[in-house]
């Protein structure tokens, strides 16, 4: 794909569409702030545009399509897979300022939102009405609903409540030709034609720009309780997860934190986690108070009989909040181990969690890397993170080999490359390994029919010809 460079004349055409020229950024210092995300690599856009309305976004996309300019939708850039990176230059469309609408309609159990609204703000708005928007990526305080929709984000509550796609009734989308369409509607039941809503969700900004979403909310569970189960062995903690999940109790969250992550959190912000544990599980149950009290006791007993050294109960809201705050701290805390963080989210069926722990232990030893594990263990969505230093090319080579083996391990166990972070630039080389050549080709054909000029987030999901996985690129 050959794209046109942005010259003075195109900037003038952009300024004709965007009345406040302060929302068209071309200064190198401004562009630098849009050259990275939470993953890997640095790529400068040629211009950043901040639309405030669907019509502005549509007019910009129309122009980009006519002039063959790549366009990169962006929320808050917390992607862990390279999703918003402008790898071909062109336009970054910053949707974080399109955050005007957050309408809770309690009588229909829906919320209508603009794409730039932070997910945490949706949680708060729904809760004012006793309602609950379950998807809860750990980044909910800093990521946009547009980004969550484009990545089909999950989170700890995925175990019981599912992920973003399970709570979307309809979308407004700007197509790669600059047309505005609506998919789905406001009802839970809707089987009119193909399900374009589900096609757009998780398409990582490669099929269009989401400019509004109608989300489903449910009644908020009145009570929660949390247990912290402490283990001397990671694999035993994995076996305990399977035992809990086959006991007839469905916790709302089961999160795992390994020893290295515990140490990092305690160093970063002391939270009272047991430094001598090899792993802890944080398990939350929710529902009516009486059943919550009963279930959390049962969970504690199961953990003890499955090999937990100790189980600490947190029933007061403040104690629970403290434990979950410690869990949210893991990601920032581990970056102090080494400066380069490669965050994976290979996901396996729940019965295979102990096997995956075993495989990750072996990979860590084989490549002598700082490989730590935490994440949404209850639904098999582990987050093995490798901490390295990108200036050390020998170490980065070992990281590349380890990452490949992590993906192979997940697929051998019947899992997937990515449970929630998406493919972006980071996993595209491995896509065929999971989908096979025909599956990959069918996806490419969908992309080509939606976006024949290939302007919408090019360089993402699909591997380039003869592309080889490298962590040396783009640095």
**Under rule CB under 6 A, residue 457 binds ligand FAD:** yes
Please identify, using beta-carbon distances, which residue of 44 and 366 lies nearer to ligand FAD: 44
Phi, psi of 394 (to 5 degrees): -65, -45
Q: Report the alpha-carbon angle 43-47-48, nearest 5.
A: 90
**Under rule CB under 6 A, residue 148 binds ligand FAD:** yes
Restricting to residues 389-428, which ones interact with ligand FAD according to CB under 6 A? 420-421
**Under rule CB under 6 A, residue 215 binds ligand FAD:** no
Complete DSSP assignment for 399-448: HHHHHHHHHHHHHHTT-BSBSSS--TTTSGGGHHHHHHHHHHHHHHHHHH
Beta carbon of residue 56, minimum distance to ligand FAD (angstroms, whole number): 13
**Which residues are CB-contacts of 391 (< 8 A; sequence separation ≥ 6)?**
none
Applying CB under 6 A, the span of 63-71, 146-154, 241-249, 431-439 interacting with ligand FAD comes to 146-154
Please identify, using beta-carbon distances, which residue of 7 and 103 lies nearer to ligand FAD: 103
Restricting to residues 32-61, which ones interact with ligand FAD according to CB under 6 A? 37-38
Q: Is the dihedral of CA 392, 394, 395, 398 positive or negative?
A: positive
- Could you say which of 51, 154, 178, 454 contacts ligand FAD (CB under 6 A)? 154
Restricting to residues 246-275, which ones interact with ligand FAD according to CB under 6 A? none
Please name every residue paired with 209 in a beta bridge, in sequence order, or none if there are none: 174
Beta carbon of residue 27, minimum distance to ligand FAD (angstroms, whole number): 20
Beta carbon of residue 293, minimum distance to ligand FAD (angstroms, whole number): 28
Question: What spatial distance separates the first Cα and last Cα of the chain, rounded to whole Å?
Answer: 22
Please identify, using beta-carbon distances, which residue of 46 and 295 lies nearer to ligand FAD: 46
* Residue 473 exposure: Cα atoms within 13 Å on the Cβ side: 12
Under 8 Å between Cβ of 68 and 87: no
**Under rule CB under 6 A, residue 451 binds ligand FAD:** no
Three-state SS for 251?
Answer: coil
- Could you say which of 210, 348, 399, 410 contacts ligand FAD (CB under 6 A)? 210
Mask: binding to ligand FAD, 70-109, rule CB under 6 A, as x and -? Answer: --xxxxxxxxx--xx----------x--------------
- Could you say which of 155, 170, 380, 458 contacts ligand FAD (CB under 6 A)? 155
Q: In angstroms, rounded to a whole number, what is the distance separating the alpha carbons of residues 29 and 26?
A: 9
Q: Which residue from 145, 164, 242, 73 is spatially nearest to 420, judged by alpha carbons?
A: 164
Beta carbon of residue 9, minimum distance to ligand FAD (angstroms, whole number): 26
Please identify, using beta-carbon distances, which residue of 135 and 300 lies nearer to ligand FAD: 135
Complete DSSP assignment for 265-315: HHHHS-----TT-SEEEEEEEEESHHHHHHHHHHHHHHHHHTT-SEEEEE-
Conformational region of residue 307, where left means phi above 0, alpha means psi within -120 to 50, and beta covers everything else: left
Beta carbon of residue 143, minimum distance to ligand FAD (angstroms, whole number): 3
- Could you say which of 50, 54, 144, 347 contacts ligand FAD (CB under 6 A)? 144
Applying CB under 6 A, the span of 153-161, 270-278, 281-289, 437-445 interacting with ligand FAD comes to 153-161
Q: To which H or E segment does residue 126 belong? A: helix 119-127
Q: In angstroms, rounded to a whole number, what is the distance separating the alpha carbons of residues 36 and 82?
A: 8
- Could you say which of 45, 51, 89, 147 contacts ligand FAD (CB under 6 A)? 147
Beta carbon of residue 324, minimum distance to ligand FAD (angstroms, whole number): 12
Applying CB under 6 A, the span of 67-75, 222-230, 298-306, 402-410 interacting with ligand FAD comes to 67-75
- Could you say which of 209, 235, 280, 353 contacts ligand FAD (CB under 6 A)? 209
Q: In angstroms, rounded to a whole number, what is the distance separating the alpha carbons of residues 396 and 155?
A: 29
Applying CB under 6 A, the span of 205-213, 295-303, 313-321, 443-451 interacting with ligand FAD comes to 205-213
Computed on alpha carbons and rounded to an integer, the radius of gyration of the chain in Å comes to 22
Beta carbon of residue 459, minimum distance to ligand FAD (angstroms, whole number): 11
Q: Which residue from 369, 377, 373, 354 is spatially nearest to 401, judged by alpha carbons?
A: 369
**Under rule CB under 6 A, residue 157 binds ligand FAD:** no
Q: In angstroms, rounded to a whole number, what is the distance separating the alpha carbons of residues 31 and 125?
A: 33
Beta carbon of residue 91, minimum distance to ligand FAD (angstroms, whole number): 12
Q: At what angle do helices 431-450 and 393-412 cross, to 10 degrees?
A: 90
Complete DSSP assignment for 369-387: -EEEEEEEGGGTEEEEEEE
Mask: binding to ligand FAD, 329-348, rule CB under 6 A, as x and -? Answer: --x-----------------
Residue numbers at the binding site for ligand FAD (CB under 6 A): 37-38, 72-80, 83-84, 95, 115, 137-139, 143-144, 146-148, 150-151, 153-155, 204-205, 209-210, 331, 420-421, 457
């Amino acid at each position: 794909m050959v794209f046109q460079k942005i010259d003075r004349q195109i900037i003038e055409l952009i300024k004709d569409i965007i009345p406040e020229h302060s929302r068209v950024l071309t200064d190198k210092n401004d562009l630098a702030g849009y050259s990275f995300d939470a993953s890997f690599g640095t790529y400068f856009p040629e211009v950043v545009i901040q639309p405030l309305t669907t019509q502005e976004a549509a007019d910009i996309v129309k122009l980009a399509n006519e002039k063959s300019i790549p366009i990169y939708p962006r929320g808050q850039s917390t992607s862990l897979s390279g999703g918003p990176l402008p790898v071909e230059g062109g336009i970054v469309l910053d949707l974080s300022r399109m955050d005007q609408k957050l309408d809770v309609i309690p009588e229909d159990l829906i919320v209508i939102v603009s794409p730039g609204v932070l997910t945490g703000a949706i949680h708060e708005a729904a809760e004012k009405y006793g309602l609950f928007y379950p998807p809860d990526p750990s980044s909910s305080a800093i990521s946009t609903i547009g980004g969550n929709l484009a990545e089909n984000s999950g989170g700890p509550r995925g175990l019981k409540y599912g992920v973003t796609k399970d709570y979307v009734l309809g979308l407004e989308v700007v197509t790669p030709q600059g047309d505005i369409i609506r998919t789905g509607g406001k009802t839970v039941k809707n089987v009119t034609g193909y399900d374009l809503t589900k096609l757009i969700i998780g398409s990582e900004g490669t099929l269009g720009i989401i400019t509004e979403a109608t989300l489903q909310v449910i009644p908020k569970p009145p009570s929660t309780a949390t247990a912290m189960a402490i283990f001397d062995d990671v694999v035993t903690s994995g076996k305990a997860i399977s035992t809990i999940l086959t006991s007839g109790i469905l916790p709302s969250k089961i999160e795992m934190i390994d020893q290295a992550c515990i140490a990092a959190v305690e160093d970063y912000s002391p939270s009272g986690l047991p430094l001598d544990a090899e792993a802890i599980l944080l398990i939350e149950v929710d529902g009516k108070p009486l059943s919550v009290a009963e279930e959390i006791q049962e969970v504690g007993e199961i953990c003890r009989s499955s090999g937990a050294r100790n189980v600490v109960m947190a029933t007061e809201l403040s104690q629970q909040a403290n434990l979950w705050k410690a869990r949210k701290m893991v990601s920032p805390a581990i970056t102090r181990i080494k400066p380069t963080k490669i965050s994976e989210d290979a996901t396996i069926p729940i019965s295979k969690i102990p096997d995956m722990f075993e495989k990750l232990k072996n990979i860590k030893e084989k490549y002598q890397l700082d490989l730590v594990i935490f994440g949404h263990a209850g639904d098999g969505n582990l987050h093995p993170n490798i901490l390295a230093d990108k200036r050390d090319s020998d170490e980065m080579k070992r990281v590349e080999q380890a990452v490949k083996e992590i993906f192979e391990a997940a697929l051998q166990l019947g899992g997937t490359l990515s449970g929630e972070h998406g493919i972006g630039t980071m996993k595209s080389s491995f896509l065929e390994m999971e989908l096979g050549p025909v599956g990959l080709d069918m996806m490419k054909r969908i992309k080509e029919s939606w976006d024949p000029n290939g302007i919408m987030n090019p360089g993402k999901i699909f591997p380039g010809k003869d592309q080889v996985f490298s962590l040396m690129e783009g640095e």
